[in-house]
Structure 1
Amino acid sequence: MYLPRDVSKARLREAEIARRNFAELTRALAKGEVTRRDFIKWGLATSGGLLVPVHGLSPFTSSAYADEFNIPTGLPPSPLFGVQAFTQPMPRFDVLPRKAYTPGKGVMNPIPAYPGVPGPDPTEQANTELQPVPAVLGSGYGPVEGRPPGPIWAHQQWQDFFPKVVVEVTQEGAKTNNYYDPGVPSSLNSGIDPAVIKPRFHPGLPDQGSLALWTFNGTLPPKLLIGRYHESILFRHHNRLPDDPAQNGGFGLHTLSTHEHNGHHGAENDGFTGAFFFPGQFYDYHYPICHGGYFSINQGENDPRCGSPNDAGGIDNLAGDYRETMSTHWFHDHMFSFTAQNVYKGNAGMFNLYSSLDRGNEEIEDGVNLRLPSGRDKSYGNLDYDVNLMLADKAWDGDGQLAMDIFDFDGFLGDVMTVNLVYKPYFEVERRKYRFRILNAAVARFFKLSLSDASPMIIIANDGNLLPSPVVVTALDVMGIAERFDIVIDFSRYKIGNRVWLVNLTEHENGRRPKEDLSLRDALSGKSDDPCVGRFLEFRIVRDPATPDLSRVPAVLCPNPDLSKIPVAAKRTFEFGRGANQNTSDPITSFFGPWGIKTSGGDMLAADFGRVSAAPRFGTREIWTLKNGGGGWDHPIHIHFEEGQILARDGKLSNVPAWERGRKDVYRLHPGGSVTITMQFRDFGGMFMEHCHNTTHEDNAMLLRWEIDDLGGAFLRPLPTPIPTPQGVTFVDPSDILPTALR
């Protein structure tokens, strides 16, 4: 299913022609000159979304072994230009600058590349000051902030969580990073000189062009946001992408909506798929970073386990439920029907949250701090031995520029493994314990990880939520897209000079689901046709630590909230599958399938962000059953805003493994399987989403909107739907309200 690297020159020429023709089609799509429905009408695509094997579109056309048109990359093999695996150091994340916010002085831009330009103060409601709109976007004038205006999209609980810190970022095309800050000395970053970081996947590969790669601040490595509980962050995101939507390098769209994945805050800050903003605008996201139950539990603030680390090394007690503590988030684009393309282009970062439980200082022993591997120099947030890993498969064209086939609606697969957006690197470690926060940031690829010597790893968190107890494994469970595992690896068992590798065991032949999980021996053999199976990250054990390892992995981490005494207000069923219908026709809010969702026995419907599919009451608890409607695919389902607890897999609690018995926000639906979860809805409201996090499925169109709009009172009416334009955001009534939504 993959074009081999030793393929004939004739076949490579044919594949390159197909790639160029793909690019022409995507440019026409970006300009709005054609639609995907047009491709079906012209006989260029099937109703399932795949391009038919037409000469000049398929790299396998006329091939003797092309039994079906189902090529994961849809592209020629990514050229490596002679570079070898494990010949470059893995860069640690680039820590975003934080600046204390002083009201009345504006936001002094802390982005090093844009110094000294004060921006307007953040406001509770959107800033509607006008600015000129470029001709390519319709001319006239539009607001400086893309957030929908008025009280409906005002920042909730603004005074309770008034911003203390400003973090300001841009979204723009690739450029050299002259301001890289990994938060650790080069000795703990594999010797990388932070002076200059080129926008390359490897020093031996070409620089990525400004239209191929779109990242935060336009630079590599990926960005890391640092936060601690109750230190509210104002995250100002500037869109500096090209005004012309056709200037996209062949894929991606220049409008953005930034989702702070599973943040506990109002919908205006959630990155709702229909609340996108345009080039030249900014959007102020407000992250209060509070524990669930902030307004209803532990109101006396007398439990130090529900707290935040202060600069003196102590704890500031807070309201809320300490059992709702979160640790590892990420943030990414959520543009309607373009999430896969924009995230793949580089719109993804990670977010470490620090609490009195998970302080990021392994030295402080006060009976609350878990003392997980981190470091000791700062009162909180030490990164010395706490390492973020972003896994993603990529592909590039013959010029080495990032490339993507947008016409495979089952899910795009790349043929090159990257960690932190570089090709198969190495990472130097000391003989001690390390914490790794691992994120699957792929489009459609699942990963199952093992160490090459099958030695043990300790799982301490799943989806960023600390487990009740650690789980020791020799291989992680399969990671769906957007799932996270926080693990601890103890390198003290190795000798200086040893090497050990992280290995991917999961083999794919298409984007619908994994083909199979290989044994470690088979994955290491190099016999798999899947080029992303096998070793992908090399650990080099280089020295003993300069100071003793004081970190621990305690037997008790963070217990689950007990929801058993809260009445169940409603039960809902959501079934995910193919063959979706579309009962609305709005060209902005509705989208063509083939993927869709059934709600509580209704029709299988394609995405429409104007449709309300569920409306749980504020302050209640519900039970939701997520079902996979078929046996030929695999869906990692993400529910925004609230974590849930899994009550059953395929109807039985005994089917839930230990690493899924904490809180989660992504639930993998095995082929034909189901997951039953319980959640409660508190503290904030608005419109949220539920979708498959195979982002190709999500975009085409396995996504729905649900909302909390009653705020504890009688449900009056659903919220109006925002319709963004460069000249301003308007509101329309919901396009559809399902009969089961309000029950």
Structure 2
Amino acid sequence: MMIYLPDKAPADVLREAEKARKNRLEIVQALSHGQISRRDLLRWGLVSATGVLAAKHGLNPFVGRAWAASGAGIPTGVPPSPLFGALPFSQPMPRMDVLPRKSVASLTPAPTAEANTTMQPVPAALGGGMGPVEGRPPGPIWAHQGWDMFPPQVAYEVVQGGISHNLAYNPDVPSQLNCGIDQAASVQTCFHKSMPDQDPTRFWTFNASFPPKLILARYGEPILFRHHNRLPADRTQNGGFGIHTISTHEHNGHHGAENDGFTGAFFFPGQFYDYHWPLVLAGFRSMNTSASDPRAGSPDGNGGINKVAGDWHETMSTHWYHDHMFSFTSQNVYKGIAGMMNIYSSIDRGNEAINDGVNLCLPSGRSKDWGNLDYDVNLMLADKAWNKDGQMQFDIFNLDGFLGDQMTVNALYKPYFEVERRKYRFRILNASVSRFFKLCLSDGSPMIQIANDGNLLPRPVVLAQLDEMGIAERYDIVIDFSRYTNGARVHLVNLAEHDDGRRVAHDLSLGEALSGKSKDPCVGRFLEFRVARDPAQPDVSRVPATLIPNPDLSNVPVARERTFVFGDGAKQTSRNKATSFIGPWGMRVDNSDMLAADYSRVSAAPKIGTREVWTLINGGGGWDHPIHIHFEEGQILERDGSASKVPAWEQGRKDVYRLHASGKLKITMQFRDWGGMFMEHCHNTVHEDNAMLLRWEIDDSGAPFLRPLPTPIPTPQGVTFQSPDDVLKTAF
């Protein structure tokens, strides 16, 4: 099966595919402009009830073609993305752009516990009149929990805007450790210097620039993240896809729901939203409350430790933040609304030379007390597609999942990265829409996996090939380049071959992936490591035999068990167009029907302070669903009915759980410290945007919470609330 038309396809085939692409993109554009709805597509017969692109001439280039008999299809809906003469590994990979730390006092207006409802004029394109400066829902229910207990100590202020040249790039490392890139020079706005600049309507990024942004955080130092929406007020100024309303999810932060990026708590151009991230260890209200254990701590800036309350077994390290806009998450994240966050602790402080009996001394550097990035590198992987003009494009067809045909790392096409002959830590994020990756080195040599998602594993795992990496998963690995000679080159290779957006079709051997024979153009080498020199200082980093053991749950009783089935053929019981999806995908909770998403429906409501066991079931045989549960990390107890089938790299805490075709997982989670409404969904974001999402909440912790919570309904003129459309009988 082909999923992309090759460059050597017959001219008439390419012409027909281009015509079909343009016709489909007109539909995508009309959807993003609000001129039609998903219900209209079903009513007109342009998509089937299962979300498959209808077999119509002018939409599907394979209709009526003899060469379509093999079952060929183009989930991307596009001909091959032109390279404009760009060669792989001909440009350096920039490290991420570290956001500047600001004082909270520098913010104007000053942040407040409840939303700032000061009124301002609303642009005519948004309906005119007056509206609040802050898009956060108003009143005590959406006030920042723990505001007085954990007042923000540092601020990060960002704007959301169309891509422009970066004149203030800060990798936070010397140029020599960033491939010699001149940090004072303007950073390009294209995937490769041989390619056209991206139009600002096509690429929306934090601070309107490349590379992707990185936040350096540490426990015990609460953050105020002020996010300004400066996208065009006219929703048609979007390059044909995406939407200008946004909601920022700090994936998978342990904080109240008002700061979680709930899909229905979005805000509009001209507004800001203040997110309060308290940076606390889970269990701080009930465990180690005296803050006496140095393993539950944070770097103090002078080589010591500031001890904090909570369970040190819950320490997290590698997070990311991204858009979670209702029904448009896939398009907005694809457009560039994604960044990463490293969280530092007394255990993982980002200084490899402080050997105090607590710090693990993982590869990082030593010039600063914490947060050294010299040998600690963030990699954001994503597949992209662009048109004949080099402009990024997105196609909602097929609803199984969107695949790009070109690989990017930190938003650049197949770059190279210079390394020294020593150990490096790489924090790898799969930021794709629907693509899975399976990574190895081109010489087959071993890597050490130390973390899965935001959490260090109980023990490191030595692997020649990593497991398949689902969308939103993060794998932290250590590679020891001391085994190579100066001048050597070795590559990261993707072994996961897709036939479509459903799941990985084949895990290729290294030889097969390197042969160039795969019809999936994202298989093979995509990042080149160039061994440039010996390190200036001896490598004192290490990978200890024990990292972070799992929390001991033996004395925590299971209060309840729930079952969640992820499948297609969902029905929609809600008539509320503001809060509901229509789409092929859905979820069944316990004995309920298979339901399409409605963020005003409460599907589960665990009681605060309890532990539950949730069983996640893939209800269909043809898809792989990476399931994300917001707020709390869990532990996998069983895969497909057996504890022995949980591999070593899944035996730590996780927040994304890959459900293989017809697979089943049993996980355990605790619900502590904070309340509010959260989400559970498939992180194949095409599935999420087409109804595979539900709302659950922790809402019986006393005032100001009610049971169930009212649903926010945002408008530019202000947020109102309504009673939930539905509460499943088994929710409470």
* Residue 20 of structure 1: how far off its partner (Å): 2.1
Alignment match, 1:37: 39
Alignment of 1:195-206 (within 5 A): 195-206=185-196
CA distance in 1, matches of 2:611, 2:344: 27
Alignment match, 1:92: 95
CA distance in 2, matches of 1:701, 1:562: 36
Which of 63, 66, 76 is the matching residue for 1:64? Answer: 66
Cα shift readout 1:689-709 (whole Å, capped 9, x = no counterpart):
000000000111100000000
Q: Does the aligned pair in 2 maintain the 1:94–1:222 contact within 8 Å?
A: yes
* Residue 40 of structure 1: how far off its partner (Å): 2.2
Alignment of 1:342-741 (within 5 A): 342-711=332-701, 717-741=707-731
588-597 vs 26-35, greater mean Cα deviation: 26-35
CA distance in 1, matches of 2:425, 2:176: 17
CA distance in 2, matches of 1:627, 1:601: 13
Alignment of 1:105-254 (within 5 A): 106-107=106-107, 119-194=108-183, 195-254=185-244
CA distance in 1, matches of 2:62, 2:181: 42
CA distance in 1, matches of 2:517, 2:46: 34
Q: Does the aligned pair in 2 maintain the 1:223–1:349 contact within 8 Å?
A: yes
* Residue 14 of structure 1: how far off its partner (Å): 2.2
SS in 2 for 1:515: strand
SS in 1 for 2:424: strand
Q: Does the aligned pair in 2 maintain the 1:133–1:140 contact within 8 Å?
A: yes
Cα shift readout 1:638-672 (whole Å, capped 9, x = no counterpart):
00000001100011100000011100000000111
TM normalised by structure 2 equals: 0.98
CA distance in 1, matches of 2:123, 2:703: 44
One-letter code aligned to 1:46: S
One-letter code aligned to 2:66: A
CA RMSD of aligned residues (A): 1.2
Q: Does the aligned pair in 1 maintain the 2:140–2:704 contact within 8 Å?
A: no
CA distance in 2, matches of 1:265, 1:468: 24
* Residue 17 of structure 1: how far off its partner (Å): 2.0
CA distance in 2, matches of 1:475, 1:374: 23
Q: Does the aligned pair in 1 maintain the 2:62–2:73 contact within 8 Å?
A: no
* Residue 39 of structure 1: how far off its partner (Å): 1.9
The answer to whether residue 8 in structure 2 is matched with residue 6 in structure 1 is yes
Cα shift readout 1:319-373 (whole Å, capped 9, x = no counterpart):
1100000000000000011000000000100000000000000010100000000
Q: Does the aligned pair in 2 maintain the 1:229–1:355 contact within 8 Å?
A: yes
CA distance in 2, matches of 1:101, 1:734: 36
* Residue 714 of structure 1: how far off its partner (Å): 13
Q: Does the aligned pair in 2 maintain the 1:92–1:221 contact within 8 Å?
A: yes
Alignment of 1:295-310 (within 5 A): 295-310=285-300
Cα shift readout 1:561-595 (whole Å, capped 9, x = no counterpart):
01121111100000000100111110011111200
Cα shift readout 1:684-728 (whole Å, capped 9, x = no counterpart):
000000000000001111000000001179996200000000000
Alignment match, 1:116: none
CA distance in 2, matches of 1:24, 1:597: 30
SS in 2 for 1:308: strand
Alignment match, 2:20: 18
14-23 vs 340-349, greater mean Cα deviation: 14-23
2-11 vs 165-174, greater mean Cα deviation: 2-11
Which of 57, 74, 78 is the matching residue for 1:75? Answer: 78
TM normalised by structure 1 equals: 0.97
CA distance in 1, matches of 2:433, 2:333: 8
Q: Does the aligned pair in 1 maintain the 2:573–2:595 contact within 8 Å?
A: yes
One-letter code aligned to 1:41: R
CA distance in 2, matches of 1:427, 1:527: 26
CA distance in 2, matches of 1:621, 1:705: 18
Gaps in structure 1 of 5+ consecutive residues: 108-118
* Residue 621 of structure 1: how far off its partner (Å): 0.4
SS in 1 for 2:678: strand
* Residue 69 of structure 1: how far off its partner (Å): 7.0
Cα shift readout 1:415-446 (whole Å, capped 9, x = no counterpart):
00111111001000000000000000000000
* Residue 15 of structure 1: how far off its partner (Å): 2.2
The answer to whether residue 321 in structure 2 is matched with residue 331 in structure 1 is yes
> Given the superposition, is the C-alpha separation of residues 196 and 699 from structure 1 closer, same or farther in structure 2, using an over 3 Å criterion?
same
Q: Does the aligned pair in 1 maintain the 2:28–2:395 contact within 8 Å?
A: no
Q: Does the aligned pair in 1 maintain the 2:424–2:479 contact within 8 Å?
A: yes
CA distance in 2, matches of 1:220, 1:260: 20
The answer to whether residue 16 in structure 2 is matched with residue 27 in structure 1 is no
* Residue 128 of structure 1: how far off its partner (Å): 0.3
SS in 2 for 1:312: coil
One-letter code aligned to 2:25: A
Q: Does the aligned pair in 2 maintain the 1:53–1:69 contact within 8 Å?
A: no
CA distance in 1, matches of 2:167, 2:57: 45
One-letter code aligned to 1:636: P
710-719 vs 39-48, greater mean Cα deviation: 710-719
CA distance in 1, matches of 2:44, 2:278: 50
Q: Does the aligned pair in 1 maintain the 2:38–2:583 contact within 8 Å?
A: no
SS in 1 for 2:342: strand
CA distance in 1, matches of 2:42, 2:255: 41
58-67 vs 355-364, greater mean Cα deviation: 58-67
* Residue 61 of structure 1: how far off its partner (Å): 4.0
CA distance in 1, matches of 2:180, 2:33: 45
* Residue 31 of structure 1: how far off its partner (Å): 2.6
One-letter code aligned to 2:209: T
Q: Does the aligned pair in 1 maintain the 2:141–2:705 contact within 8 Å?
A: no
Which of 229, 251, 255 is the matching residue for 1:265? Answer: 255
CA distance in 2, matches of 1:61, 1:448: 33
241-250 vs 283-292, greater mean Cα deviation: 241-250
* Residue 135 of structure 1: how far off its partner (Å): 1.0
CA distance in 1, matches of 2:717, 2:501: 38
* Residue 468 of structure 1: how far off its partner (Å): 0.8
* Residue 62 of structure 1: how far off its partner (Å): 4.5
CA distance in 1, matches of 2:466, 2:271: 42
CA distance in 1, matches of 2:702, 2:507: 47
Across the two proteins, how many residue pairs are aligned to each other? 728
Alignment of 1:266-281 (within 5 A): 266-281=256-271
The answer to whether residue 325 in structure 2 is matched with residue 322 in structure 1 is no
* Residue 448 of structure 1: how far off its partner (Å): 0.4
Q: Which runs of 4+ in 1 moved over 4 A?
A: 712-716
One-letter code aligned to 1:55: H
CA distance in 1, matches of 2:706, 2:153: 35
Q: Does the aligned pair in 1 maintain the 2:141–2:704 contact within 8 Å?
A: no
Cα shift readout 1:541-574 (whole Å, capped 9, x = no counterpart):
0100000001010111111101121111100000
